[in-house]
């Protein structure tokens, strides 16, 4: 099939996986740039599809997509794409929701276990002083997970995968997801919370697995932290802007939160201008061992990257070839298709 597919900011130089799917008739353009304006207008105007990582596909950018039929976000989240503008132009927007499911679930569980068993805190204390660090007292967030309640916010693929991992540890599972139909909890035997506040009041560990939308932005704010059980953990491997970092900082400082584990932040990469990041970086005794920060790597394994690249190009290619639409996230705005 003859087509032109633009990869504005792909990390791969040769696009070997993508070429293997699209075949010799496809022209793959990979300028490896970080902004719309850094790429020639003709590349945007003449492409049949866009597979994008982080370059914003705004309404202004959509105006230059003269031939484009589909935009694929090379990842799970799709907040970098203006869904309504694309839909109004007849452009389908899709994501890749299933490439790093197990990796993200494993990352969330790893943070929970790290706090509960103190592996990182004890290692750091011993590295600083072998003699005085030889004590269990540096495990400041320790708790027994057997019998504890895991609260999952967003019970999609990743949230379900985490729940299935936590259950053999003896944890009770409760989830909150207003998008799921009635009875979604029945096959698992989990408890469904009808409100976020209900879940927060039940959970010893809260793990976020929701997409970033207008409804979920800063849903973990000061009021949400106040509604949580004293001494709870808060884990976020979803999107940084779901949590108000000022509320998390105050929760840690007051002792309301025992621990906070973040793979994501509202601004990435972070700076010390964020007081939560500054407090973590200073590593003062009051926060030491109670916060983990990762550089948005929960999705990563060599296998997951292969899956991501293959699934993204398959989504674009199959749509261009025969109109098969998978994982469309702007269906409500897509009244017509190009």
Distance from C-alpha of 99 to C-alpha of 96, rounded to nearest angstrom: 6
Catalytic residue (choose from 69, 73, 239, 309): 239
Q: Is 268 a catalytic residue?
A: yes
Q: How many CA atoms lie within 13 A of 229 on its CB side?
A: 17
Contact 151, 193 (CB under 8 A): yes
Range 82-119 burial, b when 16+ CB lie within 10 A, else e: bbebbbbbebbbbbbbebbbbbbbbbbbbbbebbbebe
Q: How far is CA 192 from the centre of its chain?
A: 22
Q: What is the 8-class DSSP label of residue 57?
A: B
Q: What is the 8-class DSSP label of residue 138?
A: G
Catalytic residue (choose from 296, 310, 318, 338): 296
Distance from C-alpha of 30 to C-alpha of 28, rounded to nearest angstrom: 7
Range 132-171 burial, b when 16+ CB lie within 10 A, else e: ebeeeebbbbbbebeebbbbbbbbbbbbbbbbebbeebeb
Catalytic residue (choose from 40, 45, 215, 268): 268
Q: Is 64 a catalytic residue?
A: no
Point out the residues that are catalytic: 239, 268, 296
């Amino acid at each position: 099939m003859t087509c032109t597919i633009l990869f504005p900011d792909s990390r791969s130089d040769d696009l070997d996986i993508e070429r293997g799917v699209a075949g010799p008739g496809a022209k793959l353009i990979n300028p490896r740039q970080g902004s719309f304006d850094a790429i020639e207008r003709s590349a945007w105007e003449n492409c049949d599809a866009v597979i994008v990582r982080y370059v914003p596909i705004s309404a202004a950018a959509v105006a230059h997509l003269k031939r484009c039929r589909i935009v694929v976000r090379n990842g799970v989240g799709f907040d970098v794409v203006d869904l309504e503008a694309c839909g109004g132009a007849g452009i389908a927007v899709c994501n890749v929701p299933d490439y790093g499911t197990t990796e993200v679930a494993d990352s969330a569980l790893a943070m929970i276990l790290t706090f509960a068993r103190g592996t990182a805190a004890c290692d750091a204390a011993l590295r600083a002083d072998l003699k005085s660090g030889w004590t269990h007292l540096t495990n400041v967030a320790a708790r027994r997970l057997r019998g504890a309640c895991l609260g999952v916010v967003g019970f999609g693929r990743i949230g379900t995968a985490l729940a299935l991992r936590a259950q053999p540890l003896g944890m009770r599972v409760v989830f909150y997801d207003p998008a799921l139909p009635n009875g979604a909890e029945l096959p698992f035997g989990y408890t469904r919370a009808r409100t976020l506040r209900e879940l927060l009041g039940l959970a010893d560990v809260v793990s976020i697995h929701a997409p970033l939308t207008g409804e979920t932005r800063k849903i973990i704010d000061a009021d949400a932290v106040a509604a949580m059980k004293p001494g709870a953990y808060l884990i976020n491997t979803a999107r940084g802007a779901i949590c108000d970092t000022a509320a998390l900082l105050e929760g840690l400082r007051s002792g309301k939160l025992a621990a906070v584990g973040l793979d994501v932040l509202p601004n990435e990469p972070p700076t010390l201008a964020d007081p939560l990041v500054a407090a973590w970086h200073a590593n003062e005794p009051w926060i030491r061992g109670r916060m983990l920060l990762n550089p948005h790597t929960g999705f990563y394994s060599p296998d997951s990257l292969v899956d991501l690249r293959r699934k993204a190009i398959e989504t674009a290619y199959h749509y261009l070839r025969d109109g098969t639409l998978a994982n469309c996230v702007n269906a409500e705005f897509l009244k017509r298709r190009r």
